[in-house]
A and B are shown apart, each in its own frame.
Chain A
Amino acid sequence: MLIKELTELPGIAGREGQVRSFLKEKLALEKLKLSVDAMGNMYARHEAKNTPLVMLASHMDEVGFMVMGYESSGLLKFAPVGGIDLRVVVGKKVYIGEEKTLGIVGAKPIHLQKKNERNKPFSRQELFIDIGASSEEEAKNKTKIGDQITFATRTEFISDRVMKGKAFDDRAGCTAILEILKSKPPVNVCGAFTVQEEVGLRGAGVAASNVKPDLAIVLEGTTASDVPESPEHRYSTTMGEGPAITLMDRSFLANQNLNKRVIELAEKEGIRYQLRRSNIGGTDAGRIHLVEEGIPTIGLSLPCRYIHSPVSLLNMDDWQGMVDLVTTILKDIAEGGFPLGKNY
């Protein structure tokens, strides 16, 4: 299964190579025109003569760590790349570098912790990665400074429709784009697989400058806060209630005219959707809509429970809903119903 293969690949920001190669292989089968820019963003172009150009953007990178140094005992020091809650990483299996050396995130065991230490989370300085090496030299033979570290999480279904895995944010978006491109949409589509989103939305602006589309749709993973202790009014999205249409986040205020049409289409086609009801976080949409004189942009996202952790959950009905919704939008553009044009 594509989403399993893709999410199990390592690819922190700046180390998207394996993800890109894998996608390249799959996209080449569809006879799409492929290119890669200086930052590493990959573009897959589908042509439909005399139609508007739509850019679909998802980022290839995931949150993870990087090897920063060694203890003389052979333990590895590391630093986060992207936002990870360090309280959830202790005891997790990780892969290090191209060779996928297996390691464990370790910390002082509970019976050696003083009473006050037990009441607070470990700081980064108190955590390390153990690859079973007995000396610094042995550790250096197996890994090197700057190697990427990703969670060694297997992707699998835990119920009929719900998958567990890492990096659904945003490989789920990448697979949705691939699915849409496969269906040969009736308009020009450039699938933009962007880099370095997790460290500050860096690839997307460059990608939009390259593509200069008439419309951009960002396909993302987002927080689902439908869990105990979170009052209903604080839910951002709810898993299983369909793809979420962004109203605003820290980087982006959605265009009302575009959102209105998206909602109309979803209701007409009977596609389940929800509104993303929180103003936190940022996505590639934040960069894309401000490129040059401004690019019409829509933000869609998939609710992922426990996002930015070693294991998150994704409902495949939500994923299918996103594919259906984008397909409907593309069809509507081809038929001239969608409010394109540079004016508000």
Chain B
Amino acid sequence: MERIIKKLTETYGPSGREDRIREVIKEEVSKLADEIRTDYLGNLIVLKKGTASEQTKPVMLAAHMDEIGIMITHIDKEGFLRITNVGGLTPARLIGARFVLPSGQKGVVFHEPLKELKELDLEKMYLDIGAENQEEAKKHVTIGDIAVADEPMVSLGNRLIAKAMDDRIGCVVLIEALKKIKNNPNDIYFVFTTQEEVGIRGAKTSAFGLNPGLGIAVDVTMTGDTPEAKKMDVKLGGGAAIKVKDSSLITSPIVKDKMVEIAEKEKIKYQLEVLSRGGTDAGAINLTREGILAGCISIPCRYVHSPAEMVDKGDVEAAVKLLVKMIEEKIDF
């Protein structure tokens, strides 16, 4: 599993530029799928047909392919690149970070001289790609290009750090579930969604198209287990997190209780997640058309939206197991 986590997290793919990560995922799932397609927003939609003779509505699983990044807005005479955010960024977390452009050109983010660090904002920051002037910079970059963090995945034993764990780790869970699933009564659509980080957009259009009876998102969640962290009863190594609520979704008790029941029965390590801020694809699925039953399995993750997001391998395995058991149940809509 480490191989695939490394491959997925290290691939380039900010919001709206998911082409490369989509191809990588496509390659991983192509032999396991009954049907693969891409819709206008760029969502990768992978069908695993159900075994039940009568099919009503399908189940939609969603994990987003896109990661946060920085868009180039201006190239100055000296060859420095001005930037703006694509997705939620904390400027201080970018200082000194290495980024890579779609051309493969690398660079470092830094800031203008400041009297105090609290003056820092993105407009005072830039990406330095080592160009000597504007002309040289333009060989590697065009206005509108999006750069992403350039960090390899590192294994710390049971725990891993990488950029874009949010939400490539969710994509890994979907791929692993697709590999492991033996008997799914319902048609299952594994959807690798786009543009989640800029406003949960891909899930909206794919859910409309598929019109599922149930949608389950797999995404990362925050933890409350670091020094002086805000109180939150989710911790790394505590198992798969079953979402109760975030700012986009109040999970239907039907879905949440079913997940808890399965986890108890199958002895899968789990924890309940109440997230005070943040949303996932499940929120968009939930409000599609006339309303769709939705839930979310979360992977606890430290340092979300930084170039070094940390997850626990045991939690990932628990999430895979819980998801597989969930979709092996016959669901009547």
Option from B39, B76, B85 in Cβ contact (under 8 Å) with A294: B39
Known: A233-B82, A293-B209. A279 touches B40 (CB 8 A): no
Known: A254-B16, A278-B73. A344 touches B40 (CB 8 A): yes
Does A116 sit within 8 A of B, measured CB to CB?
Answer: no
A253 to B40, CA, bound (A): 13
- A128 CB to nearest B CB, Å: 36
- B123 CB to nearest A CB, Å: 6
Contact, CB under 8 Å: A275 / B85: no
Of B40, B76, B84, B206, most buried by chain A (CB within 10 Å of CB) is: B40
Contacts of B19 in A (CB 8 A): 344
Contacts of B16 in A (CB 8 A): 248, 253-256
A234 to B199, CA, bound (A): 24
Contact, CB under 8 Å: A232 / B144: no
Contact, CB under 8 Å: A248 / B40: no
Contact, CB under 8 Å: B143 / A279: no
Chain B residue nearest to A245 in the complex (CB): B144
Contact, CB under 8 Å: A248 / B86: yes
Chain B residue nearest to A342 in the complex (CB): B40
Does A247 sit within 8 A of B, measured CB to CB?
Answer: yes
A277 to B201, CA, bound (A): 21
Known: A247-B143, A279-B85. A293 touches B39 (CB 8 A): yes
Contact, CB under 8 Å: B205 / A290: yes
Does A152 sit within 8 A of B, measured CB to CB?
Answer: no
Contacts of A292 in B (CB 8 A): 205, 208-209
Known: A247-B143, A247-B144. A256 touches B42 (CB 8 A): no
Mark each residue of chain B from 19 to 55: 1 if its CB lies under 8 Å from any CB of chain A, else 0.
1000000000000000000111110000000000000
Does A125 sit within 8 A of B, measured CB to CB?
Answer: no
Contact, CB under 8 Å: A277 / B195: no
A259 to B17, CA, bound (A): 13
Chain A residue nearest to B201 in the complex (CB): A290
Contact, CB under 8 Å: B208 / A253: no
Chain B residue nearest to A286 in the complex (CB): B199
Mark each residue of chain B from 85 to 120: 1 if its CB lies under 8 Å from any CB of chain A, else 0.
110000000000000000000000000000000000
Contact, CB under 8 Å: A253 / B76: no
Contact, CB under 8 Å: B84 / A344: no
- B182 CB to nearest A CB, Å: 31
Does A94 sit within 8 A of B, measured CB to CB?
Answer: no
Contacts of A141 in B (CB 8 A): none
Contact, CB under 8 Å: B199 / A294: no
A253 to B198, CA, bound (A): 8
Contacts of B85 in A (CB 8 A): 279
Contact, CB under 8 Å: A293 / B40: yes
- B14 CB to nearest A CB, Å: 9
- A185 CB to nearest B CB, Å: 23
Does A343 sit within 8 A of B, measured CB to CB?
Answer: yes
Contacts of A295 in B (CB 8 A): 40
Does A296 sit within 8 A of B, measured CB to CB?
Answer: yes
Contact, CB under 8 Å: A277 / B73: yes
Chain A residue nearest to B200 in the complex (CB): A290
- A186 CB to nearest B CB, Å: 24
Contacts of A51 in B (CB 8 A): none
Does B74 sit within 8 A of A, measured CB to CB?
Answer: yes
Contact, CB under 8 Å: A277 / B17: no
Chain A residue nearest to B80 in the complex (CB): A233
Does B6 sit within 8 A of A, measured CB to CB?
Answer: no
Option from B15, B38, B74, B199 in Cβ contact (under 8 Å) with A233: B74
Of A248, A250, A253, A254, most buried by chain B (CB within 10 Å of CB) is: A253
Q: Which residues A327-344 have CB closer than 8 A to chain B?
A: 342-344
Contacts of A294 in B (CB 8 A): 39-41, 205
Does B204 sit within 8 A of A, measured CB to CB?
Answer: yes
A275 to B208, CA, bound (A): 32
Contact, CB under 8 Å: B144 / A275: yes
Known: A279-B85, A293-B39. A233 touches B205 (CB 8 A): no
Option from B15, B38, B84 in Cβ contact (under 8 Å) with A343: B38
Does B71 sit within 8 A of A, measured CB to CB?
Answer: yes
Known: A253-B195, A275-B144. A232 touches B74 (CB 8 A): yes
A256 to B204, CA, bound (A): 20
Contact, CB under 8 Å: A344 / B144: no
Contact, CB under 8 Å: B40 / A247: no
Contacts of B206 in A (CB 8 A): 293
Contact, CB under 8 Å: A278 / B84: yes
- B253 CB to nearest A CB, Å: 29
A256 to B205, CA, bound (A): 18
Contacts of B41 in A (CB 8 A): 289-290, 294, 344
Chain B residue nearest to A247 in the complex (CB): B144
A277 to B195, CA, bound (A): 19
Mark each residue of chain A from 227 to 245: 1 if its CB lies under 8 Å from any CB of chain B, else 0.
0000011110000000000
Contact, CB under 8 Å: A233 / B40: no
Known: A234-B123, A247-B144, A344-B40. A293 touches B74 (CB 8 A): no
- A2 CB to nearest B CB, Å: 33
Please give the residue numbers on chain A whose beta carbons come within 8 Å of chain B beta carbons, in ascending order: 232-235, 247-248, 250-251, 253-256, 259, 275, 277-279, 289-290, 292-296, 342-344
27 contacts between A and B (CB under 8 A): A232-B74, A233-B73, A233-B74, A233-B82, A248-B16, A248-B86, A248-B198, A253-B86, A253-B198, A253-B201, A254-B16, A256-B16, A259-B144, A277-B74, A279-B84, A290-B41, A292-B205, A292-B209, A293-B205, A293-B209, A294-B41, A295-B40, A296-B40, A343-B38, A343-B40, A344-B38, A344-B42
List 18 additional contacts besides A250-B199, A293-B208; criterion CB under 8 Å: A233-B82, A234-B123, A247-B143, A248-B144, A253-B15, A277-B73, A277-B143, A279-B71, A279-B86, A290-B41, A290-B201, A293-B40, A293-B206, A294-B40, A294-B41, A342-B40, A344-B41, A344-B42
- Which 4 pairs between the two chains have the least Cβ-Cβ distance? A253-B16, A294-B40, A294-B205, A233-B82
